[in-house]
Structure 1
Amino acid sequence: MPTVPESTRSSLSQRLTAHARTSWPRLAGLDVRHRGQFAYVDGELADGQTIKLMRLRHGGSASTWGFALYLASSDKYEDTILPTGSFAGSPEDALDCACSLYLAIPEI
């Protein structure tokens, strides 16, 4: 199992953090952890609560990652199709997909 290069790890964290700041104000921060070819992304809410969001799979490109959504019902990550129709895409697209599910405010 190949590991993600350190430069790509740093770039991924910076990209996701910058995107979260501008697109997801409910997130106070992100925690990006790496294990092998995977990056696990958790969100931190303003009240200090941490929620698991997604897992990204590095495929050799810093701009395209495989996407798996965290499913609380099974406490597992499951490969998921992005709104673009692909199982892989930009980290920002993956974050938007996960946050749309877990952070969307329901309309009343």
Structure 2
Amino acid sequence: MEAELADGERVKLMRLRYAGAANRWGFASYYAGSDRYEDSLLPTGSPTGTPADALDCACRLHLAAPDT
């Protein structure tokens, strides 16, 4: 999955992996510095969840402003 920012820049976020049920998916986050995907955990610590859970987590990692 990719996101398109307001300025038109496209940012890679993640990819989903089927985990055996329609509502159970694993995901891997994209790391631009190494140009690769790495398996990730949800904030709950679970390696699987719904696609919406994975997208929410990836967006927080890649698109949220850092705390100041």
**Smaller-chain TM-score range?**
0.7 to 0.9
Structure 1 residue 66: deviation in Å?
0.9
Match of 2:30 among 70, 93, 100: 70
TM-score, normalised by the number of residues in structure 1: 0.58
Q: What is aligned with 1:99?
A: 59
Q: What is aligned with 1:82?
A: 42
The size of the alignment, in residue pairs, is 68
**5+ residue gaps, structure 1:** 1-40
What is the CA RMSD across the aligned residues, in angstroms?
Answer: 1.3
User: Which of the pair is proportionally richer in strand?
Assistant: 2
Deviations 1:6-45 (A, max 9, x none): xxxxxxxxxxxxxxxxxxxxxxxxxxxxxxxxxxx11111
Match of 2:12 among 37, 52, 67: 52
The sequence identity of aligned pairs, in percent, is 62
Q: What is aligned with 1:22?
A: none
**1:43 lines up with 2:7 in the alignment:** no
TM-score, normalised by the number of residues in structure 2: 0.87
8 A Cα contact 2:15 2:28, kept in partner:
yes
Structure 1 residue 74: deviation in Å?
1.1
Higher RCO, Cα 8 Å, sep 6+: 2
Structure 1 residue 99: deviation in Å?
0.8
- Which whole-Å CA distance do the structure 2 matches of 1:62 and 1:44 have between them? 27
Q: Which has the larger radius of gyration?
A: 1
User: Which of the pair is proportionally richer in helix?
Assistant: 1
